[in-house]
Amino acid sequence: DDALSKYNSIEDQFICACNMEEIEVPDNYSEDPLLNSTNEDGQIICASNDEQFHTPTNSDVLDEQPENDSADDDDQAMYAANGIIFTHYLNHGQPDHICPDCGALMWSEERLKKSSKRAPKFTLCCSQGDIEVVPYKQLPQPLHDLYHSDTKRSKFFIDDIRSFNSMFAFTSMGGKINTSMNTGNAPPTFVLNGENYHLIGSLMPPIGDQPKFAQLYIYDTDNEVSNRMAAVGMKDDRLALRSSIVRDIREALNNCDNPYVKTYNTVRDTLHARGTPDIRLKLLGKRGRDGRRYNLPTSTEVAALVVGDFDGEYSDRDVIVEYRSGLLKRISTFEPAYWPLQYPLLFPRGEDGYRKDIEFKDNPKKPARKRQFITHLEWLGYRIQQRNTHNSTIVFSRRLFHQFLVDSFSTVESDRLKYLKHHQQDLRADMYKGLTEAILRGDVDAANSGKRIVLPASFVGGAR
């Protein structure tokens, strides 16, 4: 009763009746007094799309987190049972736990339910230590300063980071971006409609067309900066500031040994030297080294330049980029190049993305697993965590982080749908599809019965 009365008194403070009563709502309110900080550096103000913010670094979260036992599970259940609904802004504060296995900064409520609050175990980040992926290096300069400096240039870069990433991306992203959600003053939202995929074009654009994406690394590089800005429309007209940032990004990618940038530079030099269109680029889909320990491939590991006759011998996972075909090639979600080709500002060194051959961490103290390799979802779950010991570039990319999350979700869902499509027999889908369903509906016309793909009840978002 005491807990409920205390909570009701808090609830009363946030009731805003239809009579337009004035109430005081504390900024960043939290039930836990330890989290009710007035430190301005800890606040993020999203009043409009022209946000003011403090860009965090890995040192912004203390190594020693305070114990937070104020949110009791029984109390939360009691509040829900009594119909108490909160419409005010809830601030859970900084992460209050560090995963003992991988060092990810986590919240108490993300722990396994069977673990205690004082000794929590987490599976969202590393599956309790079973997943270990080599960390990324610190961002190269001057890209690091663009991310983390408290300057006008840095703020301009962060505000338009999605546009800057598109300027240097090698691939285009399928689907239609819905911009109708960002017409008001709410925090920016990234919405993608339709099927999502990553496409790469030919080395050179069709005659009369403007270069796009990877073609910008080869075509008319004397005017590279202006070509990149022309390829991506930006609302702001501060041309000098924009140009200087594009030059900084180009310098960072050229100087950090990005294998894809080096490969396309080689293609450019070869075309200038030979002046021949008889050239192709083969993006290699396999790696020879352990994905748990190596993620910085060399130029020879990611691509091969084919000059002259092409014998057609290549792996089914390789992608052949023609000289000037006008056709787009689809990059498989299982390609190591899938993520670095689309997000050069998140993977500036061309670090490998997800690979199908990344094994679980060896742990003789645990029983043998049924699976040998980690899934795409598990790889993404490890990558999007913030850690004090690792560089968390993806987390700090703000609006590009939004896009990456939506892209990741659609990628994982697409992989699941493909699996279900090709494993219908394993799901015993023939028991409740096709002619059986048609007969139950009373549909006896054979012309109306086609092939159906059944989604099981375990598929999130399915009809069952």
The number of residues making up the chain comes to: 464
For residue 229, give the nearest of 218, 207, 244, 209 by alpha carbon. 244
Distance from C-alpha of 241 to C-alpha of 387, rounded to nearest angstrom:
32
Q: DSSP class of residue 90? A: P
Dihedral Cα 12, 14, 17, 19, nearest 10 deg:
110
CB of 245 closer than 8 Å to CB of 153: yes
Q: In the prediction, which pLDDT does 314 show?
A: 56
Strand residue runs (E) in 416-456 = none
Q: In the prediction, which pLDDT does 389 show?
A: 82
Q: Which residue has the tokens 């159906």?
A: 452
Buried b (16+ CB within 10 A) or exposed e, 319-353: bebbeeeeeebebbbbbbbbbbbbbbbbbbbbbbb
CB of 29 closer than 8 Å to CB of 89: yes
Pull the structure tokens for residue 364: 């003789």
- What is the value of pTM for the model shown? 0.76
Q: In the prediction, which pLDDT does 273 show?
A: 82
CB of 89 closer than 8 Å to CB of 346: no
Pull the structure tokens for residue 285: 């889909």
Cα atoms in the Cβ-side hemisphere of radius 13 Å centred on 304 = 14
Distance from C-alpha of 101 to C-alpha of 78, rounded to nearest angstrom:
33
Per-domain residue ranges for the chain? 1-91, 143-354
Distance from C-alpha of 296 to C-alpha of 349, rounded to nearest angstrom:
7
Residue 173 three-state SS:
strand
| Chain-centroid distance, C-alpha 218 | 27
Per-block mean pLDDT, blocks of 10 residues, the chain (464 long)? 45 40 40 38 35 41 43 52 66 89 92 88 92 90 94 94 95 86 80 89 90 92 89 74 94 94 92 79 80 76 77 67 87 92 96 91 81 93 91 91 95 89 75 59 59 77 70
| C-alpha distances in Å from residue 226, one per residue of 149, 202, 290, 341, 402 | 25, 21, 40, 21, 27
Q: In the prediction, which pLDDT does 297 show?
A: 84
Q: In the prediction, which pLDDT does 52 show?
A: 37
For residue 136, give the nearest of 29, 223, 258 by alpha carbon. 258
Q: In the prediction, which pLDDT does 397 show?
A: 94
